[in-house]
Structure 1
Amino acid sequence: MKFTCEKALLQAAISTASRAVSPKSSIPALEGILLEAGNDLRLTGYNLETGIRTTVPAEISEQGTLVLGARLFGEIIRKLPDDMVSFQSTNYTVNIKCGMSEFNILATDPEEFPELPAVEYQNSLLLPQNVLKSMIGQTLFAVSDNESRPIHTGSLFEVDESGLTVVSVDGYRLALRHEAIEKKEGAETFSFVVPGAALSEVEKICADSDESASVTQGARHVMFKVGSTMLVSRRLEGEFLAYRQAIPRNNTIQVEGDTRALISSIDRVSLIISDKLKSPLRCIFDDGVLNISTKTAIGDAADVCPISGDGKGLEIGFNNKYLMDALKAAPADRVRLELTTGVSPCVILPTQGDENFLYMVLPVRLKAGD
């Protein structure tokens, strides 16, 4: 194998492929990146759960394939001067030159690198990268980390005639984002669940541009294609929460507030809450004001946030992090909070326009001394 490539491009490609490399594996090849020099230069990382393959422009004078340890290869390229990198392998010895720097390192047999799973095409959709990125980022925080319900350790992708809905749920909260899509092919309606770990990588690969990204559903896997990068992940199987039935919509109390003002008030009161000193926020929704307070072993804190509407004196407790996560993710300057009782969920929606997001946070029972 012999090629030359621009250092910055090669470094970016290694960084992308490395996201799917196993830090420790019983198969040594999985701790490496598969390099394939053919018509173009392809780099692949695969940890048996998620695979990332990216293509980089290079001048290839000899074709070939080999596996290089991801950590060492990445560090070498990162620390080289900004110049053209020339790469040559003889048997399993690799020579890397750039400027006045030169390295000779050992490679691994590519036969030991497992093949990426084939995605048997069923359905597909197309949407802008920045939309996919924001939909993942604004729902990923509510993915469960409880392995006893594996299906909820991923996000549900549901496609129908109105567009794409992404839903995450962890038993304490629910996050939902909906957007129209550019194009879809296959069934009228389809759905699949993608592991949270894979979605975290998709979010990083997506650019803040309106260039298209494609999502392909296969029988057992799902494939995301973003620019010159492809990510393949296994699908999660099981019964996802029937989320539509879980969201209460006939709520008797509706108030509106400025998203940043609500976050600031919660943030201030949360200063005396820590992992060791846990305590719920006591929220009292009055006419035109929201009173937030909490008490821990080191003291108490209170803040008042102006709202529009009458909360009728409703008193309700929340986990400060869960309420804050939902408000931080909400892509709107003003939000509507829908409530009914002190033991029913709080639903957070946009005050204007389409309901392109919905967050639901379950309350925490308040003790008399809190």
Structure 2
Amino acid sequence: MLRFSCEKALLQSAVNTVSRAVAAKSSIPALEGILVEGSDRLTMSGYNMQTGIRTAFEAEVHEEGRIVLNARLFGEIIRKLPDDLVVFAADEKYMVRLTCGDASFEIMGLSAEDYPELPEVDDEYSVAIQQGTLKAMINQTSFAVSTNETRPIHTGSLFEINEQGLTMVSVDGFRLALRREPLERIDGGAFRFVAPGSALNEVEKICEDSDNLMTIIQGKRHLMFETGSTQLICRRLEGEFLDYRNAIPRNNPISILVDTKAMLNSLDRVSVVISEKLKSPVHCIFDAGRVYLSAKTGNGEAKDICPVEGDGQGLEIGFNNRFFMDALRYAPAEKVKMELNTGISPCIMTPVEGEENFLYMVLPVRLKA
């Protein structure tokens, strides 16, 4: 039915990749499994009805066929095998025999007939981007993806592709993260879509830190992220994404330059008294050449001073410590420009010089009088 042999390392790498899309629990037993198909090469798929990952690799296929194997059990076995050639044989009763060195296992598989087809993605538009760049862009925006299911569209990130390049935007009710990079090539003109945050987390893991290209294909209802022999397919999120251009106020009278690490350290120090039970905004007073930070809860009070360049004109403003720190932590720059207006206007963070390839917006928290 299906017989093949291949190196353990190749098999383990493929199992690790596709397992991330396997349903942990499902009413359809096949969905808790990995679909293994052998013809001229070996293909493995994982699919949880939302996101599917498929990868193909070289193996000696002695007999063509397809079978579904429980992902957890199969993964455990492969991981514990010695580093040697794995020989796989399945019969028509779905009995699978795995041998590697002196170790051998027999496990039951399932019919591949019950395994749902991964969606086809019709190639309406596509774009290619370096994997390392895409990985960084997802990493530097995904923290601001909303987890609130009442606005499903914001549980994903907006991708906008045009001549200027790729712009990625994530937003929840309290902050916004934006990254922009030039592109290798775009086919079919400008386009935009919203990709689910959960799928992008997997795309980030599939991306290598390299110049190899990742192709993003937009179909009518689905998206495909393709690199080499691995494909991730997910549905597009439908709905009206925030009009981010109009949501970001840019004529802010106060502009100061901040050392990202120094500001993070100061925020980290004053956050010591803040906890899940005892919440408090970080109280900031932006002055000439410095910003005074403080926080006060039932745990106690913490204060610090962080040097800055510029004059904050004595502006008093409060921030959620985590949101403020996230923006600084993910900003791809050692120094950022902070734009401020009033105690109830958002804080905008952008690069100090060069292209505006990132922008973070954090909404303030009202301070009690």
Q: How would you bin the TM-score normalised by the shorter chain?
A: over 0.9
Distance 2:319 2:366 in 1: 8
Matches within 5 A, 1:137-152: 137-152=139-154
Distance 2:307 2:299 in 1: 27
Match of 2:101 in 1: 99
Are 2:245 and 1:244 aligned?
yes
Alpha-carbon offset, residue 166 of structure 1: 0.3
| Deviations, residues 245-284 of structure 1 (Å, cap 9, x unaligned) | 0000000000001111111111111111111111100011
SS at match of 1:121: coil
SS at match of 2:10: helix
Are 2:174 and 1:172 aligned?
yes
- Conserved in 1, the CA contact under 8 Å of 2:169 and 2:176? yes
Alpha-carbon offset, residue 160 of structure 1: 1.2
Match of 1:218 in 2: 219
Distance 2:228 2:177 in 1: 27
SS at match of 2:325: helix
Alpha-carbon offset, residue 228 of structure 1: 1.9
| Deviations, residues 314-365 of structure 1 (Å, cap 9, x unaligned) | 0000000000011111000100000000000000001011000000000000
Distance 1:169 1:216 in 2: 23
Distance 1:201 1:343 in 2: 36
Alpha-carbon offset, residue 141 of structure 1: 0.4
The one-letter amino acid of 1:152's match is H
Are 2:268 and 1:277 aligned?
no
Matches within 5 A, 1:200-349: 200-349=201-350
The TM-score normalised by the length of structure 1 is 0.98
| Deviations, residues 172-200 of structure 1 (Å, cap 9, x unaligned) | 0000000000000012x210000000000
Unmatched runs of 5 consecutive residues or more in structure 1: none
The one-letter amino acid of 2:169's match is V
Distance 1:239 1:154 in 2: 12
| Deviations, residues 27-46 of structure 1 (Å, cap 9, x unaligned) | 11000000000111110000
| Deviations, residues 208-229 of structure 1 (Å, cap 9, x unaligned) | 0111110000000000012321
The TM-score normalised by the length of structure 2 is 0.99
Distance 2:216 2:328 in 1: 28
The one-letter amino acid of 1:299's match is G
Distance 2:25 2:264 in 1: 40
Distance 2:119 2:155 in 1: 21
- Conserved in 1, the CA contact under 8 Å of 2:88 and 2:99? yes
Are 2:12 and 1:11 aligned?
yes
Match of 1:60 in 2: 61
Alpha-carbon offset, residue 114 of structure 1: 0.2
Match of 1:354 in 2: 355
Are 2:71 and 1:46 aligned?
no
User: Among 154, 157, 165, which residue is 1:155 paired with?
Assistant: 157
The one-letter amino acid of 2:321's match is N
SS at match of 1:257: strand
* Percent of pairs with identical residues: 61
SS at match of 2:124: strand
Match of 1:78 in 2: 79
Distance 1:35 1:219 in 2: 28
Distance 2:82 2:258 in 1: 52
Match of 2:33 in 1: 32
User: Among 110, 113, 119, which residue is 2:112 paired with?
Assistant: 110
Alpha-carbon offset, residue 56 of structure 1: 2.0
- Conserved in 1, the CA contact under 8 Å of 2:5 and 2:85? yes
What CA RMSD, in Å, does the superposition of the two structures yield over aligned residues? 0.6
- Conserved in 1, the CA contact under 8 Å of 2:274 and 2:299? no
Distance 1:291 1:6 in 2: 59
Unmatched runs of 5 consecutive residues or more in structure 2: none
Match of 1:127 in 2: 129
Match of 1:21 in 2: 22
